[in-house]
Structure 1
Amino acid sequence: MSLEHRPNRIILVRHGESEGNLDDTIYERLPDHRIGLTPKGFEQARQTGTAIRDVLDGESVEVYVSPYVRTRQTLEALALPVADRDVRVEPRLREQDWANFQDPADIAEQKAQRDRYGHFFYRFREGESGSDVYDRVSTFLESMHRNFETPSAPRNVVVVTHGLTMRLFCMRWFHWSVEYFESLDNPENAQPVVLLRQPDFRYRLERPFTQWDAGVVPTERERASWL
């Protein structure tokens, strides 16, 4: 692949505030993929869309979006200047599968176990581990790179997805360790994470993720992943 065809920037966006972010009992009666945004979530996405359009400054863009209702609603509220043919609904970008209809008490117990076991390797009953999501994100990246090969490919890529998936996308892209990944916070709702192409055609994060565990010291490779 010609490096010149790589996009100028790859912008990852977490969905806006969802009904599940406010009330975790909703998972008892509504499938995770059908949970939508709150009014605040729509407004967060609209504000992020304004900021992204300013950054794009008229440059072409293609979009990949998780099939969940809240991510598709976020994309709609972003109001990006993108043609329908340049929007791909991508199931591999979905949220980590935790269960089907969920018992909040059971999920809370499993989350506590995950904190002790490790967020990357712990597998939820009836669901996925972080490493499972990493694997499907890896196959998505292979597909995305193939789409870079055409000279007419848009100059920017926007990926609308979920917080954990965003961290795992960057872990895979920059070859971060499990320990560093587990020390990072998810982005806030509707927060963009920007990978900027450098003169050597490699990418760096516009700014690093925040770390909840400052005891994990990034390696030289991990520090080199941001500006």
Structure 2
Amino acid sequence: MKKTILYSSPYARTMQTAKAIHAELPGEVPFLQNPLIREWELGNLLNINNRTPQLKKEFKASGSFFYRYPNGESMADVYLRATMFYNTFLQRVKQQNRYEDVIMVSHSAFMHAFLTFMMQWPIDNKAKPKPFDNACVIAIDEVDGDYQYKQIFAPKISVTN
């Protein structure tokens, strides 16, 4: 097996998933938590229809990417965390050539921010993909100096009452 390293968001459900994945990997695969890859913190997410006029004005003035929710983050903050993770951890992994595969157990909003950075999409990209399926697996590969991604697994989920 290729040299692999596993990173996980510290949130409970991602840690459960990461532990299940790690249990199926060879014992020498490092398993690390990293708070940079946690989910978007929406803070006091107010009912979108019941926001005060002042909050509506702030949202409109800053835009959906830059609007920082009260006691939370903007998507720009998440994007910044994604770039920090790439530049402080993944670049180092790549430069040291210690690992060939990186497994990251994270969250949809973080992965969208991460892909926006990696794929160099404009932040207002209307063509970016729909939200990822819950518990899906995506693969990001570097091909001829450019990054490509694809969803390689999505569990079949059925809801019954």
Q: Same fold (TM over 0.5)?
A: yes
Whole-Å separation in 2 of the counterparts to 1:197 and 1:91: 25
Aligned counterpart for 1:67 among listed residues 10, 25, 38: 10
**Equivalent residue for 1:170?**
115
State how 1:35-184 maps to structure 2 within 5 Å: 58-78=1-21, 79-83=23-27, 86-99=30-43, 107-109=46-48, 117=60, 118-143=63-88, 144-151=90-97, 153-180=98-125, 183-184=128-129
Relative to structure 1, the CA distance from residue 178 to residue 111 in structure 2 (aligned partners, 3 Å threshold; closer, same or farther) is farther
Contact 1:119 1:182 in 2 (8 A): no
> Normalising to structure 2: TM-score of the pair?
0.75
> Normalising to structure 1: TM-score of the pair?
0.55
Question: CA shift at 1:80, angstroms?
Answer: 3.9
Matched residue type, 1:108: N
Q: Which structure would you say has the larger RCO, counting Cα contacts within 8 Å and 6 or more residues apart?
A: 1
Q: How many residues align?
A: 141
Between Structure 1 and Structure 2, which shows a larger proportion of strand residues? 2
Between Structure 1 and Structure 2, which shows a larger proportion of helix residues? 1
State how 1:15-54 maps to structure 2 within 5 Å: none
Q: Which consecutive residues of structure 1, in runs of 5 or more, have no partner in the other structure?
A: 1-57, 208-227
| Aligned sequence identity (%) | 26
Q: Which consecutive residues of structure 2, in runs of 5 or more, have no partner in the other structure?
A: 152-161
- Asked if 1:202 is matched to 2:146, the reply is yes
Relative to structure 1, the CA distance from residue 111 to residue 77 in structure 2 (aligned partners, 3 Å threshold; closer, same or farther) is farther
RMSD, aligned α-carbons: 2.6
